[in-house]
Chains A and B, each alone.
Chain A
Protein backbone atom coordinates (compact mmCIF):
# COMPACT_ATOMS: atom_id res chain seq x y z
CA UNK A 1 0.00 0.00 0.00
CA UNK A 2 2.78 2.33 1.03
CA UNK A 3 4.73 1.40 -2.13
CA UNK A 4 1.70 2.16 -4.26
CA UNK A 5 1.30 5.57 -2.61
CA UNK A 6 4.98 6.42 -3.22
CA UNK A 7 4.68 5.33 -6.86
CA UNK A 8 1.55 7.41 -7.30
CA UNK A 9 3.23 10.48 -5.81
CA UNK A 10 6.25 9.98 -8.05
CA UNK A 11 4.05 9.59 -11.13
CA UNK A 12 2.05 12.69 -10.23
CA UNK A 13 5.24 14.66 -9.61
CA UNK A 14 6.59 13.48 -12.97
CA UNK A 15 3.38 14.57 -14.71
CA UNK A 16 3.48 17.93 -12.96
CA UNK A 17 7.08 18.45 -14.14
CA UNK A 18 6.21 17.54 -17.72
CA UNK A 19 3.18 19.81 -17.67
CA UNK A 20 5.24 22.62 -16.23
CA UNK A 21 7.81 22.11 -18.98
CA UNK A 22 5.11 22.06 -21.65
CA UNK A 23 3.50 25.16 -20.17
CA UNK A 24 6.90 26.85 -20.09
CA UNK A 25 7.37 26.07 -23.76
CA UNK A 26 3.95 27.47 -24.57
CA UNK A 27 4.69 30.61 -22.63
CA UNK A 28 8.11 30.94 -24.14
CA UNK A 29 8.36 34.16 -26.17
CA UNK A 30 12.13 34.68 -26.33
CA UNK A 31 15.19 32.45 -26.29
CA UNK A 32 16.63 32.45 -22.75
CA UNK A 33 19.47 35.01 -22.77
CA UNK A 34 20.54 33.88 -19.26
CA UNK A 35 23.86 32.26 -20.19
CA UNK A 36 25.13 35.33 -22.06
CA UNK A 37 27.34 37.63 -20.03
CA UNK A 38 26.80 40.97 -21.72
CA UNK A 39 24.23 40.57 -24.48
CA UNK A 40 24.33 43.43 -27.00
CA UNK A 41 20.96 42.73 -28.60
CA UNK A 42 17.52 41.95 -27.16
CA UNK A 43 16.86 38.20 -26.79
CA UNK A 44 15.59 36.46 -29.89
CA UNK A 45 11.83 36.32 -30.31
CA UNK A 46 10.78 32.66 -30.27
CA UNK A 47 7.40 31.09 -29.53
CA UNK A 48 8.14 27.39 -29.30
CA UNK A 49 4.68 25.91 -29.97
CA UNK A 50 3.69 28.44 -32.62
CA UNK A 51 7.00 27.96 -34.36
CA UNK A 52 6.71 24.18 -34.54
CA UNK A 53 3.12 24.31 -35.74
CA UNK A 54 3.97 26.86 -38.42
CA UNK A 55 7.16 25.03 -39.41
CA UNK A 56 5.47 21.61 -39.26
CA UNK A 57 8.14 20.24 -36.93
CA UNK A 58 7.07 17.23 -34.86
CA UNK A 59 10.40 15.70 -33.85
CA UNK A 60 12.25 17.36 -30.97
CA UNK A 61 15.67 16.47 -32.35
CA UNK A 62 15.19 18.57 -35.47
CA UNK A 63 16.48 21.37 -33.24
CA UNK A 64 17.47 19.55 -30.03
CA UNK A 65 20.13 17.47 -31.76
CA UNK A 66 22.78 15.15 -30.34
CA UNK A 67 26.21 14.65 -31.85
CA UNK A 68 28.64 11.90 -30.85
CA UNK A 69 32.29 12.45 -29.97
CA UNK A 70 33.32 12.25 -33.63
CA UNK A 71 30.86 14.94 -34.60
CA UNK A 72 28.31 12.62 -36.23
CA UNK A 73 24.64 13.51 -35.84
CA UNK A 74 22.75 10.79 -33.94
CA UNK A 75 19.44 10.48 -35.77
CA UNK A 76 17.38 8.75 -33.10
CA UNK A 77 18.56 10.71 -30.07
CA UNK A 78 17.40 14.08 -28.86
CA UNK A 79 18.50 16.54 -26.22
CA UNK A 80 15.39 18.48 -25.21
CA UNK A 81 16.03 17.51 -21.57
CA UNK A 82 19.31 19.45 -21.65
CA UNK A 83 20.13 23.13 -21.87
CA UNK A 84 21.81 24.25 -25.08
CA UNK A 85 24.62 25.77 -23.00
CA UNK A 86 25.39 22.34 -21.50
CA UNK A 87 27.19 21.50 -24.77
CA UNK A 88 27.49 24.85 -26.55
CA UNK A 89 29.66 26.91 -24.22
CA UNK A 90 30.00 30.65 -24.67
CA UNK A 91 33.07 30.18 -26.89
CA UNK A 92 33.60 27.67 -29.70
CA UNK A 93 35.20 24.41 -28.54
CA UNK A 94 36.99 22.79 -31.46
CA UNK A 95 34.50 22.45 -34.28
CA UNK A 96 31.56 22.77 -31.87
CA UNK A 97 30.07 26.24 -32.20
CA UNK A 98 29.69 28.42 -29.14
CA UNK A 99 26.19 29.19 -27.84
CA UNK A 100 25.43 32.29 -29.92
CA UNK A 101 26.80 30.77 -33.10
CA UNK A 102 24.91 27.53 -32.42
CA UNK A 103 21.62 29.45 -32.10
CA UNK A 104 22.36 31.46 -35.23
CA UNK A 105 23.40 28.47 -37.32
CA UNK A 106 20.55 26.29 -36.07
CA UNK A 107 17.77 28.87 -36.52
CA UNK A 108 19.05 30.95 -39.43
CA UNK A 109 20.65 27.99 -41.16
CA UNK A 110 17.30 26.20 -41.32
CA UNK A 111 15.44 29.37 -42.30
CA UNK A 112 17.82 29.96 -45.21
CA UNK A 113 17.61 26.31 -46.28
CA UNK A 114 13.82 26.32 -46.13
CA UNK A 115 13.52 29.91 -47.44
CA UNK A 116 11.08 30.55 -44.58
CA UNK A 117 11.33 32.44 -41.34
CA UNK A 118 13.52 35.30 -40.16
CA UNK A 119 17.14 35.59 -41.36
CA UNK A 120 18.14 39.22 -40.69
CA UNK A 121 19.49 40.28 -37.27
CA UNK A 122 16.56 42.48 -36.31
CA UNK A 123 13.87 40.04 -37.42
CA UNK A 124 14.59 37.99 -34.26
CA UNK A 125 16.45 40.49 -32.05
CA UNK A 126 13.70 43.09 -31.84
CA UNK A 127 13.97 46.23 -29.78
CA UNK A 128 10.18 46.55 -29.76
CA UNK A 129 7.98 43.46 -29.61
CA UNK A 130 4.91 43.70 -31.84
CA UNK A 131 1.61 43.11 -30.00
CA UNK A 132 0.80 39.71 -31.49
CA UNK A 133 2.25 37.94 -34.44
CA UNK A 134 3.41 34.48 -35.25
CA UNK A 135 6.97 33.22 -35.30
CA UNK A 136 8.93 34.25 -38.30
CA UNK A 137 6.71 37.21 -39.02
CA UNK A 138 8.43 40.33 -40.19
Chain B
Protein backbone atom coordinates (compact mmCIF):
# COMPACT_ATOMS: atom_id res chain seq x y z
CA UNK B 1 0.00 0.00 0.00
CA UNK B 2 2.97 2.34 0.56
CA UNK B 3 4.02 2.22 -3.07
CA UNK B 4 0.43 2.88 -4.20
CA UNK B 5 0.15 5.77 -1.72
CA UNK B 6 3.45 7.26 -2.83
CA UNK B 7 2.49 6.96 -6.49
CA UNK B 8 -1.00 8.46 -6.30
CA UNK B 9 0.03 11.25 -3.92
CA UNK B 10 3.32 11.90 -5.75
CA UNK B 11 3.84 11.62 -9.50
CA UNK B 12 0.11 11.22 -10.23
CA UNK B 13 -0.67 14.57 -8.61
CA UNK B 14 1.86 16.26 -10.92
CA UNK B 15 0.45 14.42 -13.93
CA UNK B 16 -3.13 15.38 -13.02
CA UNK B 17 -2.39 19.07 -12.42
CA UNK B 18 -0.09 19.14 -15.47
CA UNK B 19 -2.75 17.70 -17.77
CA UNK B 20 -5.37 19.99 -16.20
CA UNK B 21 -3.36 23.20 -16.72
CA UNK B 22 -1.88 22.26 -20.10
CA UNK B 23 -5.23 20.86 -21.28
CA UNK B 24 -7.04 24.06 -20.29
CA UNK B 25 -4.49 26.24 -22.08
CA UNK B 26 -4.67 23.98 -25.14
CA UNK B 27 -8.48 24.16 -25.28
CA UNK B 28 -8.44 27.94 -24.93
CA UNK B 29 -5.82 28.35 -27.66
CA UNK B 30 -7.76 26.02 -29.97
CA UNK B 31 -10.99 27.90 -29.25
CA UNK B 32 -9.51 31.30 -30.05
CA UNK B 33 -7.63 30.09 -33.14
CA UNK B 34 -10.73 28.33 -34.51
CA UNK B 35 -12.88 31.40 -34.00
CA UNK B 36 -10.31 33.65 -35.66
CA UNK B 37 -10.04 31.22 -38.59
CA UNK B 38 -13.70 30.37 -39.13
CA UNK B 39 -15.70 33.32 -37.81
CA UNK B 40 -13.32 36.23 -37.23
CA UNK B 41 -16.18 38.74 -37.57
CA UNK B 42 -17.24 37.77 -34.04
CA UNK B 43 -14.29 39.80 -32.77
CA UNK B 44 -15.72 42.88 -34.47
CA UNK B 45 -18.66 43.05 -32.07
CA UNK B 46 -17.12 41.55 -28.92
CA UNK B 47 -17.58 44.26 -26.34
CA UNK B 48 -16.34 44.38 -22.76
CA UNK B 49 -19.31 46.33 -21.42
CA UNK B 50 -21.95 44.01 -22.91
CA UNK B 51 -19.85 40.99 -21.92
CA UNK B 52 -19.59 42.03 -18.29
CA UNK B 53 -23.28 42.97 -18.21
CA UNK B 54 -24.26 39.48 -19.32
CA UNK B 55 -21.77 37.70 -17.04
CA UNK B 56 -22.86 39.92 -14.16
CA UNK B 57 -26.51 38.97 -14.57
CA UNK B 58 -25.94 35.25 -14.99
CA UNK B 59 -23.50 34.97 -12.08
CA UNK B 60 -26.08 36.32 -9.62
CA UNK B 61 -28.87 33.96 -8.49
CA UNK B 62 -32.35 35.03 -9.70
CA UNK B 63 -30.90 37.95 -11.71
CA UNK B 64 -32.15 36.46 -14.99
CA UNK B 65 -35.62 35.41 -16.15
CA UNK B 66 -34.37 31.88 -16.63
CA UNK B 67 -33.02 31.68 -13.08
CA UNK B 68 -36.35 32.98 -11.76
CA UNK B 69 -38.33 30.48 -13.81
CA UNK B 70 -36.48 27.56 -12.22
CA UNK B 71 -35.98 28.57 -8.60
CA UNK B 72 -35.06 25.11 -7.28
CA UNK B 73 -32.58 24.49 -10.06
CA UNK B 74 -31.13 27.95 -9.49
CA UNK B 75 -30.55 27.39 -5.78
CA UNK B 76 -29.12 23.90 -6.35
CA UNK B 77 -26.85 25.12 -9.16
CA UNK B 78 -25.37 27.99 -7.16
CA UNK B 79 -25.01 26.00 -3.92
CA UNK B 80 -23.43 23.14 -5.86
CA UNK B 81 -20.84 25.25 -7.67
CA UNK B 82 -19.91 27.23 -4.55
CA UNK B 83 -19.44 24.07 -2.45
CA UNK B 84 -17.63 22.33 -5.31
CA UNK B 85 -14.81 24.85 -5.02
CA UNK B 86 -15.10 25.76 -1.34
CA UNK B 87 -14.75 22.25 0.08
CA UNK B 88 -11.62 20.96 -1.67
CA UNK B 89 -9.76 24.28 -1.52
CA UNK B 90 -10.47 25.00 2.14
CA UNK B 91 -10.45 21.43 3.46
CA UNK B 92 -8.11 21.07 6.44
CA UNK B 93 -6.59 17.76 5.35
CA UNK B 94 -5.80 19.15 1.89
CA UNK B 95 -4.19 22.26 3.38
CA UNK B 96 -2.19 20.09 5.82
CA UNK B 97 -0.72 18.12 2.89
CA UNK B 98 0.16 21.29 0.95
CA UNK B 99 1.68 22.78 4.09
CA UNK B 100 3.82 19.70 4.69
CA UNK B 101 5.05 19.73 1.10
CA UNK B 102 5.66 23.45 0.54
CA UNK B 103 5.11 25.24 3.87
CA UNK B 104 2.20 27.18 2.38
CA UNK B 105 -1.07 27.26 4.29
CA UNK B 106 -4.32 29.19 4.53
CA UNK B 107 -7.46 29.24 6.65
CA UNK B 108 -9.38 25.96 6.77
CA UNK B 109 -13.05 25.13 7.20
CA UNK B 110 -13.89 23.26 10.43
CA UNK B 111 -14.10 19.56 9.51
CA UNK B 112 -17.74 19.35 10.66
CA UNK B 113 -18.80 22.14 8.31
CA UNK B 114 -16.76 20.68 5.43
CA UNK B 115 -18.52 17.36 6.08
CA UNK B 116 -21.95 19.01 5.81
CA UNK B 117 -20.95 20.87 2.61
CA UNK B 118 -19.67 17.58 1.14
CA UNK B 119 -23.06 16.00 1.75
CA UNK B 120 -24.59 19.07 0.11
CA UNK B 121 -22.52 18.51 -3.04
CA UNK B 122 -23.54 14.83 -3.12
CA UNK B 123 -27.20 15.78 -2.68
CA UNK B 124 -26.91 18.31 -5.54
CA UNK B 125 -25.38 15.61 -7.76
CA UNK B 126 -28.35 13.37 -6.98
CA UNK B 127 -30.68 16.23 -7.90
CA UNK B 128 -28.90 16.68 -11.24
CA UNK B 129 -29.10 12.91 -11.85
CA UNK B 130 -32.83 12.75 -11.13
CA UNK B 131 -33.38 15.86 -13.27
CA UNK B 132 -31.54 14.26 -16.19
CA UNK B 133 -33.73 11.16 -15.94
CA UNK B 134 -37.07 12.78 -15.15
CA UNK B 135 -37.11 16.08 -17.01
CA UNK B 136 -37.99 15.50 -20.70
CA UNK B 137 -36.24 18.61 -22.03
CA UNK B 138 -33.03 17.64 -20.21
CA UNK B 139 -33.31 13.98 -21.12
CA UNK B 140 -33.58 15.02 -24.78
CA UNK B 141 -30.09 16.60 -24.73
CA UNK B 142 -28.50 13.99 -22.46
CA UNK B 143 -25.80 11.69 -23.78
CA UNK B 144 -24.60 8.62 -21.87
CA UNK B 145 -21.36 10.52 -21.28
CA UNK B 146 -23.27 13.06 -19.19
CA UNK B 147 -23.91 10.40 -16.57
CA UNK B 148 -20.23 9.49 -16.58
CA UNK B 149 -19.29 13.15 -16.12
CA UNK B 150 -21.73 13.46 -13.22
CA UNK B 151 -20.16 10.37 -11.65
CA UNK B 152 -16.67 11.83 -12.16
CA UNK B 153 -17.74 14.95 -10.26
CA UNK B 154 -19.55 13.09 -7.48
CA UNK B 155 -16.82 10.47 -6.95
CA UNK B 156 -14.24 12.63 -5.10
CA UNK B 157 -16.94 13.82 -2.71
CA UNK B 158 -18.48 10.39 -2.08
CA UNK B 159 -15.08 8.74 -1.52
CA UNK B 160 -13.87 11.73 0.52
CA UNK B 161 -16.94 11.51 2.74
CA UNK B 162 -16.49 7.76 3.27
CA UNK B 163 -12.74 8.08 3.83
CA UNK B 164 -13.23 10.91 6.36
CA UNK B 165 -15.67 8.78 8.36
CA UNK B 166 -13.50 5.66 7.92
CA UNK B 167 -16.56 3.51 7.35
CA UNK B 168 -15.53 1.04 4.64
CA UNK B 169 -12.01 -0.27 4.02
CA UNK B 170 -10.25 2.93 4.94
CA UNK B 171 -6.91 2.70 3.12
CA UNK B 172 -8.58 1.63 -0.14
CA UNK B 173 -11.15 4.44 0.17
CA UNK B 174 -8.35 6.97 0.74
CA UNK B 175 -6.54 5.82 -2.42
CA UNK B 176 -9.81 5.82 -4.40
CA UNK B 177 -10.49 9.37 -3.18
CA UNK B 178 -7.11 10.62 -4.41
CA UNK B 179 -7.53 8.87 -7.78
CA UNK B 180 -11.10 10.21 -8.12
CA UNK B 181 -9.84 13.77 -7.61
CA UNK B 182 -7.10 13.28 -10.17
CA UNK B 183 -9.54 11.84 -12.73
CA UNK B 184 -11.79 14.86 -12.26
CA UNK B 185 -8.91 17.30 -12.81
CA UNK B 186 -7.83 15.46 -15.95
CA UNK B 187 -11.42 15.30 -17.22
CA UNK B 188 -12.11 19.04 -16.89
CA UNK B 189 -10.41 20.23 -20.10
CA UNK B 190 -11.63 17.35 -22.26
CA UNK B 191 -15.30 16.91 -21.32
CA UNK B 192 -18.37 19.08 -20.83
CA UNK B 193 -16.73 20.03 -17.54
CA UNK B 194 -14.76 22.46 -19.71
CA UNK B 195 -17.67 24.86 -19.20
CA UNK B 196 -15.46 25.86 -16.26
CA UNK B 197 -13.24 27.50 -18.92
CA UNK B 198 -15.73 28.33 -21.63
CA UNK B 199 -18.78 29.60 -19.72
CA UNK B 200 -17.29 33.05 -19.40
CA UNK B 201 -16.55 33.18 -23.17
CA UNK B 202 -19.99 31.88 -24.10
CA UNK B 203 -21.62 34.51 -21.92
CA UNK B 204 -19.35 37.26 -23.24
CA UNK B 205 -20.22 36.27 -26.80
CA UNK B 206 -23.97 36.11 -26.10
CA UNK B 207 -23.86 39.36 -24.16
CA UNK B 208 -21.97 41.14 -26.93
CA UNK B 209 -24.30 39.89 -29.63
CA UNK B 210 -27.45 40.75 -27.71
CA UNK B 211 -26.11 44.07 -26.50
CA UNK B 212 -24.36 45.31 -29.64
CA UNK B 213 -26.17 43.60 -32.54
CA UNK B 214 -29.69 42.66 -31.43
CA UNK B 215 -29.96 45.56 -28.93
CA UNK B 216 -31.73 43.25 -26.49
CA UNK B 217 -31.24 41.82 -23.04
CA UNK B 218 -29.84 38.30 -22.84
CA UNK B 219 -31.19 37.68 -19.37
Q: Which A residues fall within an 8 A CB radius of B?
A: 40-41, 92, 100-101, 104-105, 108, 111-112, 115-116, 119-123, 126-128, 138
Interface set, chain B 150-172, CB cutoff 8 A to A: 163-166, 170-171
A105 to B166, CA, bound (A): 22
Taking CB atoms, residues of chain A closer than 8 Å to B174 are: 120-122
**Which of B1-9, B34-42, B48-56, B209-217 forms contacts with chain A?**
B1-9
A119 to B10, CA, bound (A): 13
A-B interface contact total, Cβ < 8 Å:
42
Secondary structure dominating the interface of B? helix
Min CB distance A121 to B, Å, is 5
A–B Cβ pairs within 8 angstroms, 9 of them: A101-B96, A112-B2, A112-B5, A115-B2, A116-B2, A122-B166, A123-B170, A138-B170, A138-B171
A-B pairs, top 4 by smallest CB distance, nearest first, are: A115-B2, A40-B111, A120-B174, A122-B166
Q: Contacts A101-B100, A116-B2, A120-B170 known; list 13 others, CB within 8 Å.
A: A40-B111, A92-B103, A101-B99, A105-B100, A108-B100, A115-B2, A115-B3, A119-B2, A120-B171, A121-B163, A123-B171, A127-B166, A128-B166
A40 to B95, CA, bound (A): 13
How many chain B residues touch A (CB < 8 A): the figure is: 19
Taking CB atoms, residues of chain B closer than 8 Å to A104 are: 96, 100
Taking CB atoms, residues of chain B closer than 8 Å to A123 are: 170-171
Interface set, chain B 1-27, CB cutoff 8 A to A: 2-3, 5-6
A122 to B173, CA, bound (A): 10
Question: Who on chain B is nearest to A42 by CB?
Answer: B166
Cβ contact within 8 Å between B96 and A119: no
Taking CB atoms, residues of chain A closer than 8 Å to B165 are: 127
Taking CB atoms, residues of chain A closer than 8 Å to B96 are: 100-101, 104
B119 at the interface (CB under 8 A from A): no
A47 to B2, CA, bound (A): 21
